[in-house]
Amino acid sequence: MVSEDVRRPFVEGAERARTELAALVLGRDPASVEVDDARGVGSVVHALTIGFVLPSLMDPESAPTAGEVLDAVRTLGGG
């Protein structure tokens, strides 16, 4: 088990990041972002960022194009 002294700053940082990312995408002030939006929208944006940015830094030639990403999102969304 991780010490609370170690875990807490990571939890707080993740919460802050989700709120800031949701605010950025939704065009709102971070103070006005609801907890549900931060958890939902912020978490999805964070996952996409980590999922695409880090691999692109490690192997840029294998990164999908914007079109490929949009096609994948459409496929996942059923449309």
pLDDT in tens, 11-57: 999 999 999 999 999 999 999 999 999 999 999 999 988 888 888 89
Count structural domains, the chain.
1
In the predicted model, is pLDDT for residue 1 greater than 90?
A: no
Structure tokens at 22: 């949701």
Per-residue pLDDT, averaged over 2-8, amounts to 92
Per-residue pLDDT, averaged over 64-70, amounts to 90
Tell me the whole-structure pTM to 2 decimals: 0.72
Q: Cβ atoms within 10 A of the Cβ of 13, count?
A: 10
Structure tokens at 68: 């490929």
Please, are residues 46 and 40 in contact by the beta-carbon 8 Å criterion? no
Distance CA 19, CA 6 (A): 21
Q: State the pLDDT confidence band at 60, using cuts at 50, 70 and 90.
A: very high
In the predicted model, is pLDDT for residue 79 greater than 80?
A: no
Q: Where are the alpha helices (DSSP H) in 1-79?
A: 4-26, 35-37, 43-58, 66-76
User: Could you tell me the residue range of the domain that residue 60 belongs to?
Assistant: 4-76
